Amino acid sequence: MRLLLVLLAATMITLSASSAKAFDIDFGLGYSKLQIDGSSDDAKALDGSDGPAFDISFKFTSIIPGLRWGFGVQGSYFRDEYHVTNSDGDSDKRFRDLTLIIPEFRVGYHVPIGPIFIEPSMGAALVMGEFRTGYVDSHHGNEFDDSDHEEFEVNVALTPRLQAGIEGHFWAAGLEVSWMNSHLDFGDGVGGDISTFYGGAFFRISFF
């Protein structure tokens, strides 16, 4: 029994040392390009648009050299503004926008090549999208949105990703790209197949 406890303790220490060697946090900023199906003017206006995006991930090493796993979240925002002339001849400023929040479970493989590295990974994601239309109102010189239509949809997706950069002992920095394809139908001719291509830069902090 004592030998079994010693072996178990040694195994736990070994696993702990291996898995605790690196805990990484990545902070990424970039842009996403949207492709969205739909027959309405709203869908056509947003299709092909670019928008700001962010990506944050938390990754752990494993007992398999190079293998990393963790969790991340990516967000992006797409917007189009236009004017509509009402029956009185006045022009109203309107908007249509789409917000995507994509939490993921990610598994990747870290390949060091001297001071540089590449890291392909795959994510299993929950895609949450909110589509809105409404007016842009002005009050004392400040603009604010007044949404008159709002739809929220959720689906799943696989999200391949590739990072490449340079790394030091406690940090890394580089570029990353990822792709998402899912199906979100917001109704009224907006949505169906939807995809985004993300490109940006990231900075990594490593904890030992």
Q: What is the distance between the alpha carbons of residues 76 and 55, in angstroms, rounded to a whole number?
A: 9
- Residue type for position 134: G
Q: How far is CA 64 from CA 25, 61, 69, 206, in A?
A: 20, 8, 11, 18
For 25-34, the pLDDT digits (tens) are 999 999 999 9
Mean residue pLDDT of the chain comes to 88
Residue 65 vs residue 22, higher pLDDT: 65
Residue 31 vs residue 114, higher pLDDT: 31
The number of residues in the chain equals 208
Burial label for 88, CB within 10 Å (0-12, 13-18, 19+), is exposed
Q: Which of 26-35, 87-96, 147-156 holds the top average pLDDT?
A: 26-35
Q: What is the distance between the alpha carbons of residues 54 and 179, in angstroms, rounded to a whole number?
A: 14
Lowest-confidence region among 41-45, 106-110, 137-141, 195-199: 137-141
- Token duo for residue 119: 């890291």
With 50 as the cut, is the pLDDT of residue 64 above it? Answer: yes
Q: What is the pLDDT of residue 13?
A: 42
The pTM of the whole model exceeds 0.75:
yes
Residue 141 vs residue 173, higher pLDDT: 173
CATH class, domain 23-207, is mainly beta
Under the banding of pLDDT at 50, 70 and 90, the label for residue 91 is: confident
- Token duo for residue 166: 């340079």
Residues paired with 166 in a beta bridge = 116, 173
Q: What is the pLDDT of residue 75?
A: 98
Under the banding of pLDDT at 50, 70 and 90, the label for residue 9 is: very low
